[in-house]
Structure 1
Amino acid sequence: MFSHGFTLGKDSPAASRICKQLAREGIGMLRFDNLGLGDSGGDWGDGSFSHKVADTAQAVRSMNESGREVRLLVGHSFGGAAVIAAAHELDSVRAVVSIGAPYEPSHVEHHYDALMERIFADGEAPFLMGGKALTLRRDFIEDVHAADLREQIRTLHRALLVMHSPTDNMVGIENASEIFRTARHPRSFVSLEGADHLLTGRNQAKRAARIISAWADPYLADG
């Protein structure tokens, strides 16, 4: 299962390229658009970090019930935080991968800090992100501010692979360091040298997928 970034959608370069390469490596991946993005209905403004976590967990349960057990969760950026949180609800999951993920979900506030005063006064404000016209509501801000991953990382009790570029200028490498320090073994850290946050450069997503495939292999095997 792959969870995309903040407003990116399932067809973003990272989501699409990583999942396609993992499929070539023999690992089938489900990716879907969260509320109000891409092919999903509804209003993005009605969502939240908690909604993203719940939707991820429900998608995994649906896959499991259909006989296609999900053992690996991969999340990019905001989605990386979501899969760490969702894994706690999913007994089938054996391994979790975070790519360019924030240590604190509230890190996304830097995208809309100039709107905070208006949102708290009016309850919502128009929000333009990546060319998408969205509505940002107070409930989202309060939810993401209340989210605390520290204990969930510490008590994950699943294999964790932390992947991050040291030159990521959207979510700094210090986030990966904090996630890794907080996590317990089995844990691994891979530096995505030369990559940008969105993994748009040539072969960046493909390289990440190949690393994920090799790392996850023992956790995906039967028995």
Structure 2
Amino acid sequence: MAEKVSFASMSGPMLAGLIDLPEGEVRGWGVFSHGFTLGKDSPAAARICKQLAAEGIGMLRFDNLGLGDSEGDWGDGSFTHKVADTVEATRFMADRGTPAELLVGHSFGGAAVLAAAGEAFGVDAVVTVGAPFQPAHVEHNYDAVLSRVLEEGQSPWMAGGKLLTLREHFVHDVRRADLRHKIMQLKKPLLVMHSPTDNTVGIENASDIFNTARHPRSFVALEGSDHLLTRKGQARRAARIISAWADQYLAD
């Protein structure tokens, strides 16, 4: 069962979310950050959160600015904006009396949780799934319009069937973002999950994240998985691993 919620983004527009409520005994709560332009209902987000809820961990998943059911214009956002809204999501959970001990991010969302963890409210453990070591990895997605964006300031851009506006400030913001220091200063248990056959974000990104992080850190290879975790059972398996790993970091 899921509860519809909303909370204000760092720039004002309301962000739409779902809290997959824990079944049976409540073991803890968490926040999930979705991939680049995917949304809260993408397979990785929905299936991982539902499985965690089935195992007693309630999860908030939400649409970033201008995506899915959220207000605003995606083109007004940036990586910095996504990170700040991830922090706002943890604030929302704390304010409702269910502070998120667990922060999980898939793909670009994995980079976001690494950057957000230091400012997040109540978070005790962090998980990345198929995350890039540097946010600028996403630039290959919009190579075709990049020159126009840099020349004219913005350009229409089709991403996953959505017509979005890519603006110059987004490109520069992503290029400036550097996760190395954030990862080194994480000071929270980290679980890095990645498929060795991920053709979208290569496995070397997981190695870089893991090698940069300090203990306690763990790595799990999601062998056989595709980047989006769309094949049957992949997201559920990832969630079960997260659930077992996070058990010692969740409040009683």
Residue aligning to 1:153: 183
Residue aligning to 1:172: 202
User: Could you say which structure has the greater relative contact order, defined with CA pairs below 8 angstroms and 6 or more residues apart?
Assistant: 1
1:209 aligns with 2:209: no
Residue aligning to 2:12: none
Residue 189 of structure 1: SS of its match in structure 2?
Answer: strand
1:58 aligns with 2:88: yes
Gap runs ≥5 in structure 2: 1-30
Q: What does 1:161-200 correspond to in 2, within 5 Å?
A: 161-200=191-230
Residue 58 of structure 2: SS of its match in structure 1?
Answer: coil
Distance 1:151 1:23 in 2: 32
What letter is aligned with 2:214? R
* Aligned equivalent of 1:3, options 33, 36, 42: 33
> Alignment RMSD, CA only?
0.7
* Aligned equivalent of 1:94, options 109, 124, 135: 124
What letter is aligned with 1:34? N
The alpha carbon displacement at 1:91 in A equals: 4.8
Q: What does 1:32-43 correspond to in 2, within 5 Å?
A: 32-43=62-73
Residue 28 of structure 1: SS of its match in structure 2?
Answer: strand
The alpha carbon displacement at 1:65 in A equals: 1.6
1:136 aligns with 2:166: yes
Calculate percent identity across the aligned residue pairs. Answer: 71
Residue 52 of structure 1: SS of its match in structure 2?
Answer: helix
* Aligned equivalent of 1:49, options 69, 79, 87: 79
Distance 1:44 1:188 in 2: 33
Distance 1:130 1:187 in 2: 33
Distance 1:154 1:34 in 2: 26
Instruction: Flag the structure with higher helix content.
Output: 1
For each residue in 1:19-44, what CA deviation from the matched residue of structure 2 results, as whole angstroms up to 9, or x when unmatched? 00000010000000000000001111
* Aligned equivalent of 1:123, options 138, 149, 153: 153
Q: Give the alignment's TM-score, normalised by structure 1.
A: 0.98
Task: Give the conservation status (yes or no) of the 8 Å contact 2:37–2:67.
Answer: yes
Instruction: Flag the structure with higher strand content.
Output: 2
Task: Give the conservation status (yes or no) of the 8 Å contact 2:100–2:121.
Answer: no
Task: Give the conservation status (yes or no) of the 8 Å contact 2:154–2:168.
Answer: yes
1:21 aligns with 2:55: no
For each residue in 1:76-98, what CA deviation from the matched residue of structure 2 results, as whole angstroms up to 9, or x when unmatched? 00000001111110251110000
Distance 1:37 1:65 in 2: 24
Residue 192 of structure 2: SS of its match in structure 1?
Answer: strand
The alpha carbon displacement at 1:67 in A equals: 1.0
Residue aligning to 1:79: 109
The alpha carbon displacement at 1:114 in A equals: 2.3
Gap runs ≥5 in structure 1: none
Residues 91 and 10 (structure 1), Cα distance of their counterparts in 2 relative to 1, 3 Å cut: closer
Runs of 4+ residues over 6 Å off in structure 1 = none
Residue 2 of structure 1: SS of its match in structure 2?
Answer: strand
Q: Give the alignment's TM-score, normalised by structure 2.
A: 0.87
Distance 2:149 2:121 in 1: 38
